[in-house]
Amino acid sequence: MKKPSITTIIVIICILIIGLYAMGEVNYFSSKITVERNVDSPVIYIPSIGVNEKINNVSLSQGVLHELNSYKPTQGDTLLFGHRTLQGSPFLRLNELKVGDTLTLEWPGIGELSYKVINSKIVPATYELNAQEGGDKLYLITCDPIGSTENRLIVEGELTATNPINNEIVQNNPQESNAIIITAIFLVVGLIFSFIYPKDNRVYILATVLIVTAVLLFCCVNPIPSELIYNKIIWLNGGI
C-alpha cells in the first residue's frame, strides 16, 4: 500500500476536525434528548425563524437557558439565553425577528403566552439586563456577531395574551433524530468524497471517515456533555 501523501495527511486532519465538530453536535442533541425525555419542560416556539426548543434552568450547553435571576412568565420579566453557533444554535436566526413578530412560550402550570416583539438591540457583552418583578417582558439574548462573543443581541417582547397550554407542542420533540441525521450526513458526504479521491490514497480517507462515523454512532447511544468537546477545541474558533 502506498504511503499517504502530504496532501492526504492534511485532508485527514481536516476530516478529523470536521468530525470533532460533528461529535460536539451529536453529543449535544443526544444528551439533550436524554435529559428532556418525559419531562414537561417549558418550550419557546417561534416558527418564523425555526425555533421549537425546550427551555432548561441548568446550563446554556443544554439549549435555551432560563436565567434563574429572572422570573417565570406572569411573575416578572423572563430572560432566555441561547447559543447562536454550535450546540444546536437555537438562536442562530434571532436577528431576523422584527418589531411586531410573535414569540410564544408554552409553560406548564402557566399556559401559552404570546409576546409581541417591541425592540431589538445590540449591546456590549458587559451590558447588564435586570429583570423586573411584576414585569411582562420577555428577553431573548444571544451573541453577536455570529461566531463572536464581543456583543449581545437582545430581542425584547411584550406579553399580549395568555391562553391554555398547547400540550402537543410541549410533548413534541423535533430534535429527536438530529444526532442520527448529522451522523448520516457525515457518512454519506465522507463516502462520496472518498470515492472521488485519487485511488492510490483513497483507502486512508475511507478508513478515516468510517472510524469517525463509528465514534459518532457510539456518541448517539452513549452521549457525553458537548461542552467537554468544545472546551478542548475552542482554539479552533480563535478562542471564542
| DSSP 8-class letter at 2 | P
Mean pLDDT (the chain) is 88
User: For residue 238, is pLDDT > 60?
Assistant: no
Q: Which residues pair with 54 in a beta bridge?
A: 43
User: For residue 228, is pLDDT > 90?
Assistant: no
Place of cell 486512508: 204
User: For residue 210, is pLDDT > 70?
Assistant: yes
Position 169 confidence tier, pLDDT thresholds 50, 70, 90: confident
Q: What is the C-alpha separation between 218 and 170, in angstroms, rounded?
A: 28
pLDDT in tens, 63-117: 899 988 889 999 999 999 998 888 888 999 999 999 999 999 999 989 999 999 9
φ, ψ at 122 (rounded to 5°): -115, 130
DSSP codes, 79-112? EEE--SSSTT-TTTTGGG--TT-EEEEEETTTEE
The superfamily in CATH containing domain 39-171 is Sortase (2.40.260.10)
CB atoms within 10 A of CB 195: 11
For residue 79, which of 36, 149, 151, 133 has the smallest C-alpha distance? Answer: 133
Is the pLDDT higher at 119 or at 240?
Answer: 119
For the chain, give every domain's residue range: 6-32+177-237, 39-171
